[in-house]
Structure 1
Amino acid sequence: MTDQIGYSQKVMEHFMNPHNVGVIENPDGYGKVGNPVCGDLMEIFIRVRENVIEDIRFRTFGCGSAIATSSMVTDLAKGKTLEEALQITRDDVATELEGLPPRKMHCSNLAADALHAAIRDYLEKEKKA
């Protein structure tokens, strides 16, 4: 069910009460992506133990959809292996949120991109260790 501006109840829940907000000091992986067109900026921090995302936090500056997708992507990735988390797509994020208005679909791109960037950062650091 969507409200009059096209947001599902689930989007509104994640916007009003986002999960996993914050920063992980000295994260194992860090991803930062932005969209110069709309001004949204997302940062994702991950803590990895034995190839599993043990903890994940985000900091997002942007619209309600950007906050909701950041919250949802962290929920989807927490407890997953790095390989499983790399498979999370923009469509997965939007589907779990029960849809986004078409003009806000780019937000789910940013959320998935920030997650993937954090994982790539972790993998790069591991190669150098």
Structure 2
Amino acid sequence: MTSTGPAAYSPLVIDHVKNPRNIGEMDHPDGVGRVGNPVCGDVMELYIRVKDRIITDASFKTFGCGAAIATSSMVTEMVKGKTVDEALEISNKAVAEALGGLPPVKMHCSLLAEEALKKAVENYYERRGEKPPFETAVKEHHH
């Protein structure tokens, strides 16, 4: 991983790659989001634990590049303490900004993190037999 040039990673991205937060599968999660990008081969699984509609814990398993790991790690930090509905407001741009920016060629990794989070919240609602308060179809992103 380089820290110079057009594909440079911020020090925070490198830190999240070397020391990912909340890594690993969660036992008995309240919601699971699984997404993959067939173009780059990245696969992301995000797990959330929810109490009284507040996300109390989050973890992830990601098979992919450094940016995919960093964005997964950061999104699990960002959602803790938020309500499930507030979690839906977290955008890929917010994840990238929280990491000090991503190289343009790696922005699709932050989209995966956003989509995995939305799917985990959607799964939480499904497990409770409730309808999510949002459009369940993840929007198609054109790169």
TM-score range, shorter chain: over 0.9
Taking only aligned residues, the RMSD between alpha carbons, in angstroms, comes to 1.2
In 2: Cα distance, 1:18 partner to 1:28 partner? 22
Q: Secondary structure at the match of 1:93?
A: helix
- Counterpart check, 1:3 vs 2:7: no
- Counterpart check, 1:47 vs 2:49: yes
Q: Which has the higher helix share?
A: 1
Moved over 3 A (4+): none
Residue identity matched to 2:96: A
| Structure 1: 5+ residue stretches without partners | none
Q: How many residues align?
A: 127
Measured after TM superposition, the shift of residue 25 of structure 1 is 1.4
Measured after TM superposition, the shift of residue 12 of structure 1 is 0.4
Report the TM-score when normalising by structure 1: 0.95
In 2: Cα distance, 1:27 partner to 1:3 partner? 36
Report the TM-score when normalising by structure 2: 0.86
Which of 30, 33, 36 in structure 2 is aligned with 1:31? Answer: 33
| Structure 2: 5+ residue stretches without partners | 131-143
Q: Which residue matches 1:74?
A: 76
Measured after TM superposition, the shift of residue 16 of structure 1 is 0.5
- Counterpart check, 1:63 vs 2:65: yes
